[in-house]
Chain A
Amino acid sequence: MHEMSLAESIVQIVEDTARQHGGTRVASVRLEIGQLAGVELDALRFCFEAASRETVAAGATLAIDQPPGQAWCMPCGGSVTVGSLADPCPDCGSHQLQVTGGTELRVRDIELG
C-alpha cells in the first residue's frame, strides 16, 4: 500500500507544474499507470484526494491511462500481452518473459482551470 507515497508525488509534480505556468487551480490530472505497475487505482484515487487537500490540486479529477502489460517471450521470439507478472506466455505457456511495457508510473499532463 504505497499509494499514499505515489499520491504525494503526484501532488508535488502538479503543484510544481502549476506554479511554473502561473496556474492557481488544476481541473484535471492525466496519469499513466501501467497494468503491471502494482498500483491499486481505487486506493490511489482515495489517497490523491487526501494528499491534494488544501493544494492547487484539490478537487482535480484524475484521468488514468492504463497501458497493458507487454512482454517479450523468448521461446516465441515475439511480443505478447500479459495481465500480471505471474502470467505465462498466452501462446506457448512459457514463463521466460521479459517485461517491456505496463510498468509506467507518470504524470502525463495537467489541465489548468
Chain B
Amino acid sequence: MCTTCGCGTDHVHIDGVGLALSRGAHAPLTGTEQFVPAAPLPVTAEEAGIGAAGVHAHGTSAARIVQVERDLLAANDSWAAKNRQRFAASRTLCLNLVSSPGSGKTSLLVRTVSALAASRPVAVVEGDQQTSNDADRIRATGVAAVQVNTGKGCHLEAPMVSRALDRLPAMAGGVLFIENVGNLVCPALFDLGEAAKVAILSVTEGEDKPLKYPDMFRAAKLMLVNKVDLLPYLDFDVALCEANARKVNPDLEVIRVSARTGEGFDDWLAWIARAAA
C-alpha cells in the first residue's frame, strides 16, 4: 500500500461485499483470475523464495540478464478486452465518466439516466473510495446501479468493472455508464473496456485544467463543460477552456451542459444516441 496517497488495488468492495482477486501475492495477473472473499494473503520469505538474510550481490559473476519486454498494463488491458467483448455481444454502449471530485458527475448522471431510461436499458457502475451514496442516488431514479468501493484505490481497474457487470441485469442495446473515482490523473491510464472516456469539467474550476492534467483530456473523446448555468456569476472563459483542451487533444468534442437546468442535454443525449448507433 502506498503511504504517499494510499492507493492500491487491495480491499475492493462491490455493493459492500469485500472481494479480492484469487491471485497470490506472487502470481502474475493472467486475465483468468476469479474473485473470492477478501482475506489476507500469507506471505513468507520461504514462499517468496528469498533467503533469511535477503542480501543481494549486484553485478556478480552469477548474475544473468533475462529479457522480459512485458507491458505493465497488459493484465488490466486483457480484462478490459474481455469487458469490451461482453459489451459488443450485448450491443451495450459503455461510457467511462472521468473528472475531478465535485464536477457534478453524479448529478449529471442522474439527469442523464432519467432521460434515457424510458427509451433504452440503462445501468450505472459507481466508483468511489467509500460510501454507497452515489449508487443510492442512481437507484432512486429506478435505474440499476452497482457501487464499487476502491478503499484507498484512486481509480477503477478493468477487473473491478468485470465483477460489477456480473451484478447487473442483461441490458441488450443499452447504455452502461461507469462513474470513475473523482481524480483527473490515475483513471486516464486504465482502460475499462469502454467505448469512450467522457471528461467532465465544471465552470467553477480553472480554464487551464486541461493543460494541468493533459493525460486525462487527451484520453477523452468528449468533454462536457458542466454547470454553465453559473457562468453569469463567474469569470470563467469557456472558449479559453475549450481552446486549452484542444491543445492537448485536437480531436476532442465539447458540449456545454448544466445538470441543474438541463441546458445542453439535447446535444449530450444526441451524442449518446450517435455513439450507441
Contact = CB atoms under 8 A, between A and B. Distances in A.
A17 to B, nearest CB: 5
A88 to B, nearest CB: 7
A61 to B, nearest CB: 7
Contacts of B50: 24-25, 54-56, 58
B89 interface: no
Given A105-B71, A107-B69, A2 B215 contact: no
A17 B68 contact: yes
A7 B7 CA distance: 11
| Interface of chain A, main secondary structure | mixed
Contacts of B154: 1-2
Contacts, number: 170
| Interface of chain B, main secondary structure | loop
Given A2-B190, A38-B188, A106-B70, A27 B9 contact: no
Interface residues of A, number: 53
Given A9-B75, A18-B49, A95 B247 contact: yes
Contacts of B55: 59
B239 interface: no
Contact of A12 (B1, B28, B43): B28
Contacts of B63: 27, 111-113
B186 interface: yes
B8 A8 contact: yes
B68 A13 contact: yes
Contacts of A4: 1-2, 5, 7-9
B58 A2 contact: no
A16 B215 contact: no
A13 to B, nearest CB: 5
A64 interface: no
Interface of A: 1-10, 12-19, 21, 23-28, 38, 43, 46-47, 50, 54-56, 58-61, 84-86, 88, 95-97, 105-113
Interface of B: 1-5, 7-9, 23, 25-29, 43-45, 48-51, 54-60, 62-73, 75-76, 153-155, 157, 185-186, 188-190, 210-211, 214-215, 218, 246-248, 250
